[in-house]
Amino acid sequence: MRLATATTAAELAQRTGARLLGDGDIRITGLNEIHHVGPGDLCFVDHPRYYAPTLASAASVVLIDRETDCPAGKALLIHPEPFAVYNRLVWEARPQVQWNDEKQAYTVGAGTIIAPGVVIGKGAVIGKNCHLGPNCVIGDGCVLGDRVTVSAGTVIGEEAFYFKRTADGLIPWRSGGSVLLEDDVFLGPCCTIARGVSSTTVIGRGSKLDAHVQIGHDCKIGAHVQMAAQVGVAGNCTIDDWSILQGQAGIAQNVHMGERTVIMAQSGVGRDLEGGKSWFGSPVQEARKAFRDLVKLRKLGEK
């Protein structure tokens, strides 16, 4: 997420009580977790498994819970609870706001129809000729392009299902990202599109989602993608253009599916998939092989 006002590593060290290593003049312009971090960002790490990739990432400043050599061109902030500091910074950058229906709190384009019961959050931007069905919710800061349909009961931009596991229980991350629905997107009734933890969850131009589809945080759904009812896509997935997900398909987190991928009904995807192919089963196999295997299994009991 981008910060409204940039700060420096030295200023942030003073604010948080962290010990500074490296260049205190480095400007911090954003907060991001490791999957979407870039130059100017602050990232945090508190587990040995992720020390090396985080320190080698594009992050300009790293919150870390142990002293280590500071990579060239970066700054380290040493603090015993990096996650708590990071989460507090996100809360400060995106505080909770009261829901209201004041027109000046959001922007609506010409020709857009808003049905009874619609709730629109502060700073949301709704494009031209959209249709917002009864009782749908558009979260604060979310952006809809032109000619977008959000059907009844659909929720755009709620908090990500993302928790830090601690000895005291599961601590929720504050979601600092947003949601973008590009032009001509259609969302059926009762869909849920989670906002990004630190980036923007994107549904690409012309994509169509049936009823009861769940899209997790930070997903990047390409253009003209179709998803049938009850598809579930976990966080941080990328699904390229013109792909098709049939009913009740489930996609695990961090998966990348290439262009024109077809996932057949009730299949379970737990790994990256090559585009231009059809896939079936749980775990998925290329559909032709999966069907051949099913035929062989049925023949095992035959005399």
Domain extents in the chain: 2-93, 103-291
Nearest to 56 by CA among 66, 45, 67, 65: 45
Are 149 and 112 spatial neighbours (Cβ–Cβ below 8 Å)?
no
Domain 103-291 CATH assignment equals 2.160.10.10? yes
Q: Which helix (H) or strand (E) holds 214?
A: strand 214-215
Fold classified for 2-93: 3.40.1390
Say how far apart CA 58 and CA 69 lie, in whole Å.
Answer: 16
Q: Which of 49-53, 186-190, 295-299 has the lowest mean pLDDT?
A: 295-299
Whether 288 has a pLDDT exceeding 90, the answer reads no
Query: How confident is the model at residue 303, as a pLDDT?
Result: 61
Q: Which helix (H) or strand (E) holds 4?
A: strand 2-8
Whether 101 has a pLDDT exceeding 70, the answer reads no
Say how far apart CA 200 and CA 213 lie, in whole Å.
Answer: 18
- The string of pLDDT tens digits covering residues 152-170 is 999 999 999 999 998 889 9
Check if 256 is active-site: no
Tokens at 161, concatenated: 């299902």
Q: What is the mean pLDDT of the chain?
A: 94
Whether 27 has a pLDDT exceeding 70, the answer reads yes
Query: How confident is the model at residue 102, as a pLDDT?
Result: 65
- The string of pLDDT tens digits covering residues 198-244 is 999 999 999 999 999 999 999 999 999 999 999 999 999 999 999 99
Say how far apart CA 114 and CA 138 lie, in whole Å.
Answer: 11
Say how far apart CA 67 and CA 133 lie, in whole Å.
Answer: 53
Average pLDDT over residues 278-290: 90
Average pLDDT over residues 11-17: 96
Are 21 and 75 spatial neighbours (Cβ–Cβ below 8 Å)?
yes
Q: Which residues face 220 on adjacent strands?
A: 202, 238
**Main-chain dihedrals φ then ψ at residue 25, nearest 5 degrees:** -85, -5
- The string of pLDDT tens digits covering residues 270-283 is 999 999 999 999 99
Among the options 212, 217, 224, 256, which is catalytic? 217
Whether 139 has a pLDDT exceeding 90, the answer reads yes
Say how far apart CA 44 and CA 182 lie, in whole Å.
Answer: 31
Average pLDDT over residues 123-133: 97
**Cα–Cα distances in angstroms (integers) from residue 179 to residues 25, 113, 143, 156, 257, in the given order:** 32, 20, 6, 7, 20
Sorting pLDDT into bands at 50, 70 and 90, what band is 294? confident
Tokens at 165, concatenated: 């596991």
Average pLDDT over residues 23-40: 93
Nearest to 213 by CA among 160, 268, 154, 267: 154
Average pLDDT over residues 112-118: 97
Residue-by-residue DSSP string for 26-40 = -EEEEE--GGG--TT
Say how far apart CA 139 and CA 45 lie, in whole Å.
Answer: 29
**Main-chain dihedrals φ then ψ at residue 249, nearest 5 degrees:** -70, 145
Are 218 and 196 spatial neighbours (Cβ–Cβ below 8 Å)?
yes
Which segments of 33-145 does DSSP mark as H helices, in order? Answer: 48-55, 82-93
CA-CA-CA-CA torsion sign (23, 28, 34, 38): negative
Query: How confident is the model at residue 104, as a pLDDT?
Result: 59
Count of all residues that appear for the chain in the document: 303
pLDDT cut 90: percent of the chain above it: 87
Secondary structure (3-state) at 15? helix
Say how far apart CA 65 and CA 266 lie, in whole Å.
Answer: 42
Can you give the pTM of this predicted structure? 0.91
In this structure, the number of other CB atoms found within 10 A of the CB of residue 12 comes to 21
Q: Please state whether the peptide bond connecting residue 95 to the residue before it is cis, i.e. omega within 30 degrees of 0.
A: no
